[in-house]
Structure 1
């Protein structure tokens, strides 16, 4: 009994970090650039999220919307020596939709304001009918952000912006209890902020620096776990978890070679080690555990080509280091690793005041393995595919 309880507690930190991924992709033009130049591009109202200082470069009124579909190919296979014997889950993500909307308005020659609604954190996982369905069958961690923001044009070369994030988080965990699905949920509200600077270094080069603070969610669930394989033993685990979306710093540059060609680049940092230190309480006690996560670094390079006044073509490549210290000791509900992003997209000017765009991005992540004896297994060569469309209207 005591040994089984220990195994369960070992699994709890993994489950309470359910499907947390911090995404750059929200259905905007950045998808086709693999995010390159995101804090300096400022070509539509979505700059409110990437760097609010960029709003000072926009026309008097602008609306930007985005639609996105994510498909995840993330098959998980149990090892032969895993404590739970039986079927492996197979692909755990599948299709996942997203949408975003941003509005900007110039107040006067110096000040601009805007508001955005988007989601770029969390993910849904579906393990289906598998050997560990008493532990987890489905998990969903969703976060939506409503963000009002202001920007100040300090002078002709330098702008500053500040945005508030009003974040709603939702956690859902489904297990098989006595042959039926048992679902537990909780939700929470949290605040964070975003601030940035945008500098026009020369007539052809601008640099953006943006910082986003971490977001703290507090969830409480009380799942019951029953193991037919172990004399039908039942265990109820009241779980309280503090989940942190990491703070990040992004430095971006855009350089116009000429009226047709532009080069874009990024260098970024995310504080994932704080996420790995989330506080978890089980039955009123804090289980001892090792922080498996580390800070990550991001770099990206992109190109824009404008052959005429109607078309703008984008492509980009990006690399993010893994937030795991050891790819052989990871979480089953966070399939991730060092990632390469490859994006391509196009924008078409419908009228003098509106444009529409489409983009595709492919993300290849390093394989990862779970060392926990109960669920020991491997995510082999996981991939993500993003399909997006965006529309902008200025008036």
Structure 2
């Protein structure tokens, strides 16, 4: 029972875990459509539009006209589940638990003078929606997750000269989550449910430096800080059998858990070969090792149930990861630029603690994109990415004798569309 409860509750923290979004762990990459086209290879050095507020706030120094950039990244994910077994031996394994979703973003940059620029951005750094079928065989270890993190980032940049600039922006981060798992009182009982809701607002910051090393080569370094949350909400327990209800009526407890999203460091290089070709390369390190365990505290739990629903801790043992990317763009003519990129992204999970909520492995992502500028004031960007994960296996069990074992193979198609308008 203890572990059934925890598999839902821990997801308030880690079911941000983007099972199919295009970054490992529970990070989302899609904060820029132009960057999506090159696989985000030049995220901290390209500064192509106002989305540099996220990629590298120092990049605002390269934007010479007031501008607005916005767009959506849309995800069509697919999961094949095979070699599945469970106890009790019942349920389905359809997979494809991620609905078609869209990730929005929006940015505004205004140059103030030759040195200063101001901007503000709104984007989603983390998020997840998974929704298994009602009779999913692994429902005791996670049936539904809907978690969103939205960040607003006011930002300033300062150019020391035409070679070096810095940028800084505090982040205001809002997290909201709703998670569900099934609960069986006895092996013969109809399922009940455990539902968790929680939210919090917390502060962080992004800081970056951009350097024009030569006329053709530019490097950028960006630090995204950790953000420490204390989620407050409630835990609701619904029993599914009348006899069980008489013995254990439905319960509602005030719940809290601490979560620190990890810091990351992104370094990238942009090199313009000639008037047509530009190449990009970048690497990102993320400190996922912050997530070693999850502890949930439920208040005012009766003494007879405190061992099940009081303080619950589960090991996660995530490890730090690296992501690497290369990309290129080709200026076809004055109006059109074509882009492509390839990236690889490690998963922070391990074979022991992986669950149906986070059935992810290392990823390879291929991207293409284009930018169309019908006028000097408007650019429309489109991008497509294909993600393929290595197959992974999960093994979950709890002290009620319930188990779930399966092999997951995940893939996804991503589509992005955005626009930049210059005033």
Question: Do they fold alike, i.e. is TM over 0.5?
Answer: yes
Q: Deviations over 1:354-395 (max 9, x none)?
A: 111110011112222222123523352201221010101112
Moved more, 208-217 or 166-175: 166-175
| Aligned with residue 86 of structure 1, among 82, 91, 95 | 91
The alpha-carbon deviation at position 156 of structure 1 amounts to: 1.8
The alpha-carbon deviation at position 155 of structure 1 amounts to: 1.7
Contact 1:134 1:225 in 2 (8 A): no
Moved more, 139-148 or 277-286: 277-286
| 1:385 counterpart residue number | 413
Distance 2:194 2:116 in 1: 51
Q: Which runs of 5+ in 2 are unaligned?
A: 18-25, 184-189, 299-305
| 1:312 counterpart residue number | 337
Query: 2:289 aligned with 1:273, yes or no?
Result: yes
| 2:348 counterpart residue number | 323
| 2:384 counterpart residue number | 360
Contact 1:32 1:316 in 2 (8 A): yes
Distance 2:283 2:355 in 1: 27
- Relative to structure 1, the CA distance from residue 332 to residue 244 in structure 2 (aligned partners, 3 Å threshold; closer, same or farther) is farther
Query: 2:232 aligned with 1:206, yes or no?
Result: no
| 1:261 counterpart residue number | 277
Query: 2:123 aligned with 1:118, yes or no?
Result: yes
- Relative to structure 1, the CA distance from residue 49 to residue 194 in structure 2 (aligned partners, 3 Å threshold; closer, same or farther) is same
Q: Which runs of 5+ in 1 are unaligned?
A: none
Query: 2:138 aligned with 1:138, yes or no?
Result: no
Q: What is the RMSD of the two structures over their aligned residues, measured on CA atoms?
A: 2.6
| Aligned with residue 165 of structure 2, among 151, 159, 166 | 159
Distance 1:179 1:322 in 2: 32
Distance 1:168 1:379 in 2: 34
Other structure's SS at 2:108 match:
strand
| 1:292 counterpart residue number | 317
Moved more, 182-191 or 277-286: 277-286
| 1:31 counterpart residue number | 36
Query: 2:125 aligned with 1:129, yes or no?
Result: no
TM-score normalised by the chain length of structure 2: 0.84
Distance 1:281 1:180 in 2: 21
Q: Deviations over 1:263-317 (max 9, x none)?
A: 1000110011113444433557544533331110011000111121111110000
The alpha-carbon deviation at position 187 of structure 1 amounts to: 1.8
| 1:48 counterpart residue number | 53
- Relative to structure 1, the CA distance from residue 288 to residue 241 in structure 2 (aligned partners, 3 Å threshold; closer, same or farther) is closer
| Aligned with residue 15 of structure 2, among 13, 18, 27 | 18
Distance 2:156 2:176 in 1: 28
Contact 2:193 2:239 in 1 (8 A): no
Q: Deviations over 1:183-204 (max 9, x none)?
A: 5432211111000000001110
- Relative to structure 1, the CA distance from residue 294 to residue 83 in structure 2 (aligned partners, 3 Å threshold; closer, same or farther) is farther
